[in-house]
Amino acid sequence: MTKKILFILSIIVSSHAFSAEGMWVPGMISKMVADNMESMGMKISLDDIYAINNSSIKDAVVHFNGGCTSVLVSDQGLLLTNHHCGYSRIQAHSSLENNYLKDGFWAMSLSEELSNPGMDATVIKEIRDVTNDMLAELSVEATEAERIEHLTKKSAELIKKVKEETGFEAYVKAFYHGNQYLLFVNEVFTDVRLVGAPPSSIGKFGFDTDNWVWPRHTGDFSVFRIYANADNKPADFNEDNKPYRPNHFLPVNIQGVEKDDFTLVYGFPGTTENYITEAETKHVLEVINPLRLKMREASLGVIDEAMKGSELTKIQYAAKQSRISNAYKKWIGQSKGLIRHKVLDKKDSVEALFAQRIADNQDWNTAYATLISEIKAIEAAKLPLNVNRNYFIEFYYMGPEILRFTEKYRELVAMCKDENITDEAIEAWINEHIDNSGYFKNYDNTVDEDIMKAQIGFFVEDQKPLDFLNNLKSDKESLTAFVDRLYEETLFDNEADLTDFFSTFKRKHYKKIEDDPAYELSLRLAMFYSDVTRPELLKYVTNSDSLMRIWMDAQMLVLPERTYSPDANGTLRITFGKVEGYEPFDGAEYAYYTTLEGVMEKEDPTNPEYNVPERLKELYAAKDYGRYAHSTGEMRVAFVASNHTSGGNSGSPVIDANGNLIGLNFDRTWESTMSDIMFNPSICRNISVDIRYVLFIMDKYAGAKHLVDEMKLVSE
């Protein structure tokens, strides 16, 4: 082996042997990982973390509406998650009169808790390895298409069987890029009510400026409650439902954390791409991230300006702005981190070592000699289509809302054209859909039009083959004039016009919908994506998926000294680490915790991002922290630790060595956002709100002590 390769190997081995990298599947923890957890201070057993016949911590960890995590903290279904996870629900209940986003909301009794139609909370009952069942009878000669067909059929059979045997729902997910398959048996609760939320000046303190940033002073939590029927089973909202009685809820440790304390984060991380090649990482860095940033800068420019000028727009666009700006800022940090930590070079080194090893081994050489160059070739071919796809996502799904809003009317148009559909059925459809007040409550057509104007140029520039746009535009009409005309002529940007139109709707009027410029643009965009971009992309995706499966398997075989945890895929995981600060850049060192003192230091009454509520200032002045104060007397707000987390881990319980709740994970530091592609234990930190700050805000700030009384507080 050359010196260079030996050096690379030493980096790989040393950085992985004692690091906390990895998002592990509970119930499938290897001895090596378990030993590592123990050596870092964990005192509970693997059975305490995950069991199927007894209650265990897993029963308290709840997938919150499919995107975030939450934790059960009482025997009455009380659920804690982040403020930013509950944000759209808090927003939905807010109005100028009852501005819960601004002022907070606290239900003082069960009867005041607010229902949230359409939302769900999922508890995992069991995780099974079904790799053998999934792959049984799959011929080694099967094409990729046959493989997909086989796997789809098998997973449907397995899910059906679980349902028949247990009555529970289930889903199957691929791990290690299709080298392993796990089945998750689960119970989905649909009556989830809002119990409490601090004002945004606490729950979102620091807003966009502090998002993804440490030191942080945000009380990022909100409170919900799961309700169930008389048998403690899932049921849609009903006055008679009762608070859910979980198999396990987490005791809350009010002792607080110290440096080097063990931490375990239990939750549902969304997506990581830790095993992509150097070539793909380069595309993210040089092509995909820049285009996403360009599109989002355009829409955020419009939204931020509009929100500055009006209280109403601030309420209407708060959740949308957060959704767009959250990933926007993350991608900036991610690109910086990837460059600073020379991730391309590191990926290159791994690939070089791989090439060296296989060159020395006849069998490996036969199997993998062309693997990396094949991956490179396919990535290069896929890139332009990926660019199209990302522009489509940014414009159609994240851009002007009118494009998505008109979507549902495609069904009506199809019904009107179908002779087998009766007039009565059409009338019933209209009655069901005539009320659009929920949508229009949060819609401003001027803002929407300006977003379209800001983005459409970039979009069209990219997707030149959009001939249809030229058909839609009249001769020599500029894009801006086209957008002006679109919003002038469309029915779909005005609630009154729309209701008027449908109140006298006759079947033949469907033509007016079809000719509507917003409807037409939306339909053509969607068709272009589904008929042109997507099928082309899919041709490559199938191949690149199968190469990725082989690449994953090959790395595990050829480079066995590395630790391989499966990429995040929205399933239940644990990740462990310890409470520790870090050195963000040369010459600086960050502490592992922040305090209320820092909230006061950041206070700026002239900047809405840093307002501090009067009541909080009073409590601070009186140092009235009660039992929630740290042993030093200060009020701790947040802390950082070296857990390998991702989006979806928002709201995850941060658990101490004894299995108690010590915080709620809510973010990563700016320097950590690269961890979705490469985790670096010396620099990557997750940010959590100290659970004592959560209790202090509930009890002392909001006067909702009854909620704290529901929990089991421990001090150990």
Q: Which residues are catalytic?
A: 84, 220, 650
Judged by CB, which is closer to ligand ASP: 74, or 122? 122
Q: How far is the CB of 428 from ligand ASP (least distance, A)?
A: 40
Do residues 429 and 529 make contact, with C-beta atoms less than 8 angstroms apart? Answer: no
Do residues 385 and 469 make contact, with C-beta atoms less than 8 angstroms apart? Answer: no
Q: Write out the residues near ligand ASP by the rule CB under 6 A.
A: 326, 645-647, 649-650, 666-668
Judged by CB, which is closer to ligand ASP: 625, or 666? 666
- What's the CA gap between 680 and 297, in Å, rounded? 29
Alpha helices (H) in 240-370, listed in sequence order: 278-283, 289-309, 311-340, 343-359, 362-368
Copy the structure tokens of residue 383.
């890139």
Judged by CB, which is closer to ligand ASP: 214, or 666? 666
How many helices (H) and strands (E) the chain has is answered by: 30, 20
- What's the CA gap between 528 and 531, in Å, rounded? 5
Judged by CB, which is closer to ligand ASP: 577, or 647? 647
Q: Which residues of 25-44 are buried (b: 16+ CB within 10 A; e: fewer)?
A: bbbebeeebeebbeebebeb
Alpha carbons within 13 A on the beta-carbon side of 343 = 29
Q: Rounded to whole angstroms, what are the CA distances from 471 to 468, 475, 476, 525?
A: 5, 9, 11, 13
Q: Rounded to whole angstroms, what are the CA distances from 208 to 200, 213, 219, 304, 435?
A: 12, 9, 14, 11, 34
Do residues 180 and 25 make contact, with C-beta atoms less than 8 angstroms apart? Answer: no
Judged by CB, which is closer to ligand ASP: 346, or 668? 668
Q: How far is the CB of 220 from ligand ASP (least distance, A)?
A: 8
Judged by CB, which is closer to ligand ASP: 279, or 288? 288
Q: Rounded to whole angstroms, what are the CA distances from 395 to 257, 470, 571?
A: 44, 18, 29
Copy the structure tokens of residue 221.
């939590």
Identify the three-state secondary structure at position 156.
helix
Q: What is the DSSP string of 42-90?
A: --S-HHHH--SSS--GGGGEEEETTTEEEEE-STT-EEEE-HHHHHHHH
Q: Rounded to whole angstroms, what are the CA distances from 277 to 7, 360, 547, 687?
A: 20, 22, 11, 28
24: which DSSP letter?
B
Judged by CB, which is closer to ligand ASP: 234, or 681? 681
CA 254 to chain centre: 29
Name the residue whose CB lies closest to ligand ASP: 647
SS (H, E, C) 297-325: HHHHHHHHHHHHHCHHHHHHHHHHHHHHH
Q: What is the DSSP string of 581-618?
A: -B--STT--B-SEEEHHHHHHH--TTSGGG---HHHHH
Q: How far is the CB of 326 from ligand ASP (least distance, A)?
A: 5
Distance separating the N- and C-terminal Cα atoms of the chain:
51
Judged by CB, which is closer to ligand ASP: 60, or 568? 568
Judged by CB, which is closer to ligand ASP: 69, or 455? 69
